[in-house]
Amino acid sequence: MIPASVSDYRRLAQRRLPKFLFEYIDGGSFSESTLRRNQSDFERYSLRQRVLQNVDNTTTATHILGQSASLPLVLAPVGIAGLNARRGEVQAVRAAQKAEVPFCLSTVSACSVDEVAQKAGSGFWFQLYMIRDRGFLKAMLERAWEAGCRTLIFTVDMPVPATRYRDIRSGLSGGSAWRRKFARAGQAMVKPRWAWDVGLWGRPHSLGNIAPVLGDNAGIDEFWGWMAQNFDPTVTWDDMAEIRQLWKGKLVIKGILDPEDARAALATGADGIVVSNHGGRQLDGASSSIAALPAISQAVDGRLDILLDSGVRTGVDIVRALALGASAVMIGRPWVYGLAAGGEQGVAEIIECFAKEMRVAMALTGCTRTEQITRDVLIERSLL
């Protein structure tokens, strides 16, 4: 198959990855109702087609948090993404840099912030959770800054990790340790391409950023134990104010679904927020991100940048999000599908797929620049 869309790369990723990795990328929490609505709710908004508008010089170029970008898209932080291809985060950030879009490295990446900076250069973003061990948290902020990161995405919608049934069934989490290891080994054996490229030649298989506290030989099982012990359910907005004082660069708070929380982020001094439900991986039954966006946009009234995450699968979705008040979108699963399917080139192709689709959607709605994308280009389904 010659892949042409995100769904095609998803199918290729499913063919090439061990089941436990694919299910981790692809799944959500509990019954996955929010995961499904994240995509389906975009279809509530039809685009208003316009003709004879002279759209010869359409451009997707924009600025995201003051940083120039070729299109309003950011590669979102995804945990253990680097296990989907050899030293995967390094390959992904290279693709993002060549495409001139931001890349954000996860706290729980396979490649450390230092490795990514050494092999791909500085300028990428970094993501962090509120960790019980404040000493580790402060040290991680310092490491990120020294590596050249100037934008921090702080994820706040994970005070406790949710249950993801697919991960239990695949052997990634839950159950006894020997059953998990047996299941994962068996799944890897039937994917020889991955076993050779990543399993053998992609070592070390540690979680680079937390290796100092887990040990260099720690793996996925040790990660789950560390995560259960160190995510902090006591976190409040006072803690976010402290992070604002510690971090000298741009601060973006990720995991906002309620207008009151958006106003609190603004009061804390955040430079931006990410309207997100963690890709449907936390509170099942929560609002889709696109449904939450209009009220949040109205609440902050242009006083900080809004990014939209969760459910974005096409360039048409980017246009919809911008029309509803976002300044850019973040994609997680799509770029990891591309990484699993084709490494750096696969990620580059995913980015170009979004860019091409967005340019067509802009041209056929009469927009030649991103700032022209307003609510006027949309028709809600209820009005049809």
**CA 85, CA 3: separation in Å to the nearest integer?**
18
Residue (of 17, 9, 12, 1) closest to 192 by Cα position: 17
Residue 70, annotated ligand binder? no
**CA 196, CA 205: separation in Å to the nearest integer?**
13
CA Rg value for the chain: 20
Residue 127, annotated ligand binder? yes
Cβ–Cβ under 8 Å, residues 122 and 148: yes
198 SS3 class: helix
Residue 165, annotated ligand binder? no
Instruction: Please name the residue ranges forming H helices in the chain.
Output: 6-16, 19-26, 33-40, 88-99, 113-120, 134-146, 165-170, 177-189, 192-194, 211-214, 220-230, 237-246, 259-268, 289-300, 315-323, 333-364
Q: Considering 16, 278, 320, 359, which one is annotated as catalytic?
A: 278
Surface-to-core class of residue 176, CB atoms within 10 Å of its CB (0-12 exposed, 13-18 middle, 19+ buried) = exposed
Residue 173, annotated ligand binder? no
Residue 170, annotated ligand binder? no
Six-digit token pair at 367? 């927009």
Residue 381, annotated ligand binder? no
State the residue for tokens 């249950």: 163
Residue 372, annotated ligand binder? no
Residue 24, annotated ligand binder? yes
| Active-site residue, 278 included | yes
Cis amide bond preceding 334, omega within 30: no
Residue 311, annotated ligand binder? yes
Residue 37, annotated ligand binder? no
Residue 3, annotated ligand binder? no
Residue 309, annotated ligand binder? yes
Residue 276, annotated ligand binder? yes
Contacting residues for 192 by C-beta, under 8 A, at least 6 apart: none
Residue 79, annotated ligand binder? yes
Sequence ranges of the binding site for FMN: 77-79, 106, 127, 155, 254, 276, 309-313, 332-333
> Which residues are catalytically annotated?
278
Residue ranges for the binding site for glyoxylate? 24, 129, 164, 278, 281
Binding-site residues, in ranges, read 24, 77-79, 106, 127, 129, 155, 164, 254, 276, 278, 281, 309-313, 332-333
